[in-house]
Amino acid sequence: MSFSWKENLPEELKEKVTKVEKMIQPRIEEIDEQVLYNQQRVLDLFRKHHVGEEDLVPSTGYGYDDIGRDKIEDIYADYFKVDDALVRPQFGSGTHAITVGLFSMLRPGDTLYYLTGTPYDTIQEVIGLAGNKPGNMKEWDINFKTTELTDDGQVDYEKAREDLQDKSIKVVAIQRSLGYATRKTFTMDKIKKMLKFVKEVRPDVNIFIDNCYGEFSECEEPTFYGADMMAGSLYKNAGAGLVKGGAFLVGRQDLIDGAGSRLTVPGAGKGEGATWGYLRDIYQGFFMAPHTTGEAQKGMVFTAALLEEMGLEVSPKWSDPRSDIVQTVTFGKPDPMVKFCAAIQHYSPMNSFVDPIPYH
């Protein structure tokens, strides 16, 4: 007797699914190779750093001498080929880690420059472009400048070269993922070009990467090619969906020291900060991250191919390179999108009985 998950599907849909599965198989195999490569690197680092059960013991209070915390930060630093790392549950989100990193490098009168256009909404609030919340960069007299992307979603290098002549620019930021925009995510090949460009034009600035949604989605990371500091979330790729909260910063020693002082206090810096009961999740999440990220990418390849087969507009297409775990589907009208979201919710393991309501 044979069993198939497709046996209860309508016949027309079953035919489309079978067609799509065969079509995407070469792309699935490419992702499998990427997963195995990244997994081998992680495994080698766990062995190199002698990870043991004692590293999973949580700390409380100040968190001084937390050997498990220090070791996972050494592993992160090794994986991303940098000097040091902050891997902490005290970060409330990826945006929080980005904010800590940027504020630690900027002073009143300095300018933060985004090479990849205006960032997404939560970062806009941090900068002071949207809202007027206390403590934003505008309140601290930190300026903002950006070069908007070209009509086809690429970096405008000619205009950027001109804009980068502003000597008040101290940090150049690059947003890897599309966030909530409709542009394509920047692949590592494109990020390498950006890094080379900035270092040629302004070798004196620090380059910051917003890497949220990007870890393990390729075999290389921006820090391999000279990014000075990079941020990511622990409850996305790097935590494999297992870590309950937190985020990370990786980068140059002096910059991570500065970020540690910003996250905690000058003096104690990154030596302070208890891990409570999070260490097991953080270790397990990082070990599972290559596999889980790959599974997410394979699911998106399948989804993109099937929805395109049904006539929907998708980006990236199933055969396109992927550098994050975001899939865009364009419906053109509100009603089909609402119905699609409701169907996803109704076939989910949690809250399948809930009807999602659009937020206006």
For residues 326 and 178, give the distance between their C-alpha atoms in angstroms, rounded to a whole number.
Answer: 8
The one-letter amino acid code at 244 reads: K
Q: pTM above 0.85?
A: yes
Q: Write down the residue that tokens 């909260």 correspond to.
A: 245
Q: Find how far residue 351's CA is from the centre of its chain.
A: 26
For residues 336 and 137, give the distance between their C-alpha atoms in angstroms, rounded to a whole number.
Answer: 39
| Domain extent listing, the chain | 11-40+291-346, 52-286
Q: What is the pLDDT along the chain (360 residues), one digit of tens a residue?
A: 688 998 889 999 999 999 999 999 999 999 999 999 999 999 999 999 999 999 999 999 999 999 999 999 999 999 999 999 999 999 999 999 999 999 999 999 999 999 999 999 999 999 999 988 999 999 999 999 999 999 999 999 999 999 999 999 999 999 999 988 889 999 999 999 999 999 999 999 999 999 999 999 999 999 999 999 999 999 999 999 999 999 999 999 999 999 999 999 999 999 999 999 999 999 999 999 999 999 999 999 999 999 999 999 999 999 999 999 999 999 999 999 999 999 999 999 999 999 998 886
- pLDDT number for residue 1: 66
Task: Give the SS3 label for residue 112.
Answer: strand
Q: Count CB atoms within 10 A of the CB of residue 319.
A: 13
User: Quick one: fold of 52-286?
Assistant: Aspartate Aminotransferase; domain 2 (3.40.640)
Task: Give the SS3 label for residue 256.
Answer: helix
* CATH hierarchy code of domain 11-40+291-346: 3.90.1150.60
Question: Using an 8 Å Cβ cutoff, are 217 and 324 in contact?
Answer: yes
Question: Using an 8 Å Cβ cutoff, are 355 and 342 in contact?
Answer: yes
Planar angle of CA 229, 233, 238, nearest 5 degrees: 95
Question: Using an 8 Å Cβ cutoff, are 270 and 256 in contact?
Answer: yes
